[in-house]
């Protein structure tokens, strides 16, 4: 029986049992597996991997593991460009867009609040989520790491936090959302960009107090929902300020 040693680095250790973290892991096999199958057999989804080394040499997911190989598996690097080294990192997406599984509805709302294109429906099954991610070039966010192992998923991330606000901070930090977000420009229900509308055109749809106190309005061209900078807007602005502060703290 052949054997291989695998070492996971950084946040990839989140996917294995505590006793296997930050140490070489021995795997034995009879038929030479691909390195992708070997690593995913440990529970590590391939979209989380940025670099694979076999005996110090960069290899792709299709590399057939050999007896005695030492495999090093690295997560996304924050400050090092591996474009000319890694054989597993997918080509960067032209823009940051998400598709989110049904268990992360609050996170989807927060991302839309930041103006980010976020596909979400609570009736999407796993097959649909993977297909949307592939066909539309969207980053799949999920709490199900098995979903990320589907072969057609190229861009995806297993959200570690369980609370929505913490999830937002985590995703914003990973994808540098402070640089691309445009708050309050997208419908929270439809994910469609909002259009400014005159008060005169929507006055007949407003409550008397809203007509008296507000003059700026936006409307969703899909569902016709009307938005204005009311109390909900103020609460969300506070949340965005808190997000900025937390991200500044992590960069300090």
Q: How confident is the model at residue 52, as a pLDDT?
A: 95
Q: What percent of the chain is modeled with pLDDT above 70?
A: 96
Residues 137 and 246 in one domain: yes
Q: What residue numbers bound the domain in which 218 lies?
A: 195-228
Q: What is the maximum alpha-carbon separation in the chain?
A: 79
Degrees, nearest 5: CA angle 44-49-52: 105
pLDDT (tens digit per residue) in 223-235:
999 999 988 888 9
Provide the β-strand partners of residue 158. 142
Residues 105 and 129 in one domain: yes
Average pLDDT, the chain: 93
Q: How far is residue 179's CA from residue 27's CA, in Å, rounded to a whole number?
A: 42
Structural tokens at position 110 = 């927060």
| Distance (Å) of CA 212 to CA 197, 206, 208, 225, 234 | 16, 10, 6, 19, 18
Q: How far is residue 98's CA from residue 145's CA, in Å, rounded to a whole number?
A: 16
- Enter the pTM of the model: 0.92
| Distance (Å) of CA 18 to CA 14, 41, 158 | 8, 16, 18
* 79 part of a folded domain: no
Residues 172 and 199 in one domain: no
Domain tally, the chain: 3
- Going through 67-126 in order, the beta strands assigned E by DSSP cover 70-74, 98-100, 118-120
Residues 122 and 27 in one domain: no
Q: How far is residue 234's CA from residue 178's CA, in Å, rounded to a whole number?
A: 19
pLDDT (tens digit per residue) in 67-122:
999 999 999 876 556 666 788 888 889 999 999 999 999 999 999 999 999 999 99
Q: How confident is the model at residue 84, as a pLDDT?
A: 67
Residues 237 and 134 in one domain: yes
Residues 243 and 217 in one domain: no
- Which among 90, 91, 86 is positioned nearest to 73, based on CA atoms? 86
pLDDT (tens digit per residue) in 33-64:
999 999 999 999 999 999 999 999 999 999 99
Q: How confident is the model at residue 78, as a pLDDT?
A: 65
* 80 part of a folded domain: no
Residues 162 and 246 in one domain: yes
Average pLDDT of the residues in 122-126: 94
Structural tokens at position 197 = 């509308």
């Amino acid at each position: 029986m052949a054997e291989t040693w695998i070492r996971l680095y950084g946040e990839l250790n989140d996917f294995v049992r505590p006793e296997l973290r930050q140490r070489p892991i021995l795997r034995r096999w009879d038929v030479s597996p691909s390195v992708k199958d070997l690593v995913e057999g440990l529970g590590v989804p391939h979209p989380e991997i940025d670099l694979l080394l076999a005996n110090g040499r960069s290899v792709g997911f299709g590399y057939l593991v050999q007896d005695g190989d030492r495999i090093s598996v690295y997560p996304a690097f924050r400050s090092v460009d591996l474009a000319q080294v890694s054989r597993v990192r997918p080509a960067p997406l032209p823009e940051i867009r998400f598709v989110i599984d049904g268990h992360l509805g609050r996170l989807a709302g927060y991302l839309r609040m930041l103006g980010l294109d976020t596909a979400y429906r609570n009736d999407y099954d796993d097959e649909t989520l993977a297909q949307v991610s592939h066909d539309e070039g969207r980053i799949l966010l999920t709490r199900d790491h098995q979903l990320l192992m589907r072969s057609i998923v190229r861009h995806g991330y297993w959200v570690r936090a369980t609370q929505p606000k913490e999830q937002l901070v985590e995703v914003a930090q990973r994808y540098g959302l402070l640089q691309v977000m445009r708050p309050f420009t997208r419908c929270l229900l439809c994910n469609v960009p909002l259009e400014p509308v005159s008060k005169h055109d929507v006055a007949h749809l407003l409550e008397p107090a809203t007509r008296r106190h507000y003059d700026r309005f936006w409307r969703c061209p899909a569902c016709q929902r009307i938005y204005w900078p009311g109390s909900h807007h103020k609460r969300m602005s506070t949340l965005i300020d808190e997000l900025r502060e937390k991200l500044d703290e992590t960069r300090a």
